Chains A and B, each alone.
Chain A
Amino acid sequence: MRLLLSALLFITLLGCDKSASDSKLYNGGGTGQGGSLARFTIAGNYLYTVDNEDLKVYEISDAANPVYKRTVQVGFEIETIFPFKNRLFIGSTSVVHIFSLDDPSKPEKLSEAISPEVMRRCDPVVAKDTVAFATLRTNGPCGGVQSILAVYDIRNVAKPVQRASFPLTEPYGLGYSDTVLYVCDNQQGLMVFDIKNAFEPKYVTSLRDGCFIDVIPYGNTLICWVRNGMILYDISDNKTPQFLTRIN
């Protein structure tokens, strides 16, 4: 029996990070924005990609001409990559690998964190600087452990500590806009949480317009990957997304 720490996206960080307060704006204009289930991500002048085992680094100072820099072996069953500050969080089915980007051309492994077993042993600590959210999905046939939205204190980014959890059914991607967190729970819909108090997400509502897999809050639009295509919501009032259109 294995817990799939899937879609694990560690992502979505609040607190001191300035980008949180900028989430209403397009980020920088030059670089686009992906969902939380991506295997490609851009940070600074570098494109980072993960396949099942390896992290690859390309310099894209000249965007038309990516230059391969190096390959770093990460582990097995890698699924996602997410940049935060000068770190890369690389999610696999069982663990999150954390790499330093102090030298962005040469990611260096800092730690492995967050196996579900470790999380459950963590003692709560009091700290509010920085928080990360992740979805931990168990699979039906062999699960037995509840799927959750987990909330981590990542002040010490190499030693995330779980601070809260919220039970979900089959969660995948997630994203936030200011003080609102959107979590895709497949057939159960899109869950909306108030995260003014980031360590205590408050469930607000769920939207049942489709089977939700991932989201990108982008300006005043929430772009959603649903099982059969895409749904757009207006999130000018981010707690109450208004359905705009469906693109199948």
Chain B
Amino acid sequence: MRRLLPILLLFSACTDMNMSDDFPPGPAFVPVYASVEWDAPVEMQPAKPTVTAGKIYAFRDYAFQVDQYKGIHIIDNAKSAGAKKIGFLQIPFCTEIAIRNNYLYTNHNNDMVVFNLANPTAPQLVKRLKDAFPAMNTIQEHPPFSNVMFECPDPAKGMVIDWVQQTVANPKCRR
């Protein structure tokens, strides 16, 4: 079955999507590309503003929030009213978090990585499982809607992480 998947996906792409030069101007979805480097280092950085807010997680006196595809904001929540960011763990293409006994599991590119959080201001990478999630960050070939016009993604521009609705002079894709 697994071997069939690429073929099935190809099929669904063919049946789901129409490309044409004839669609009139009008509202259409435009791809948003990830401004993330696959090769950017995994490292702790000073606290910084959230760019694209992602998933949240709670562990003891800490809260965590993914910055979509960029990393994890670590927040000291010991005094909730005074909760504040204490750092940013840069992890390219990170989207997920789970924590057990001071070990944080997340995804880095296609890998699973494990950090020791004993000192949350300086998480230590302790384990990497290569290619654990090859399909986690699947490129969004089309907007998550049906019967809509959209600008065809350009793979050369990188990974599509979102879609925004705009007026497009000549949207070439339809789903």
Contacts and interface: CB of A to CB of B under 8 A. Distances in A.
A244 B99 CA distance: 25
B172 interface: no
Interface of A: 1-2, 4, 26, 29-35, 37-42, 47, 49, 51-54, 56, 58, 60, 63-66, 68, 73, 93, 139, 141-142, 213-214, 216, 218, 220-221, 223-230, 232, 234, 244-245, 247-248
Closest 8 CB pairs of A and B: A32-B59, A32-B99, A40-B98, A218-B58, A63-B103, A63-B101, A51-B135, A142-B146
A51 to B, nearest CB: 4
A73 B80 contact: no
28 contacts: A2-B146, A32-B57, A33-B57, A35-B56, A38-B98, A39-B136, A47-B100, A49-B112, A51-B136, A53-B5, A54-B135, A63-B100, A64-B103, A64-B114, A65-B127, A66-B105, A66-B114, A73-B2, A141-B145, A141-B147, A214-B55, A214-B56, A218-B63, A223-B63, A225-B56, A228-B50, A245-B83, A247-B50
Nearest to A233: B80
B168 to A, nearest CB: 15
A53 B105 contact: no
B81 A244 contact: yes
Q: Which of A2, A51, A65, A214 has the most CB of B within 10 A?
A: A51
B138 interface: yes
Interface in B44-74: 49-50, 53-60, 63, 65, 73
Contacts of A141: 145-148
Contacts of A226: 53
B121 interface: no
Contacts, number: 163
A230 B146 contact: no
B143 to A, nearest CB: 9
B93 to A, nearest CB: 13
A52 B138 contact: yes
B146 A34 contact: no
B144 interface: yes
A73 B1 contact: yes
Contacts of B85: 247
Contacts of A2: 146
Q: Which of B80, B97, B101 has the most CB of A within 10 A?
A: B80
A213 B96 CA distance: 15
Nearest to A215: B56
B133 interface: yes
Contact of A142 (B2, B50, B58, B147): B147
Given A66-B112, A244-B81, 10 more contacts: A32-B59, A47-B105, A56-B132, A60-B100, A141-B148, A142-B146, A225-B53, A225-B54, A232-B81, A248-B50
B116 to A, nearest CB: 7
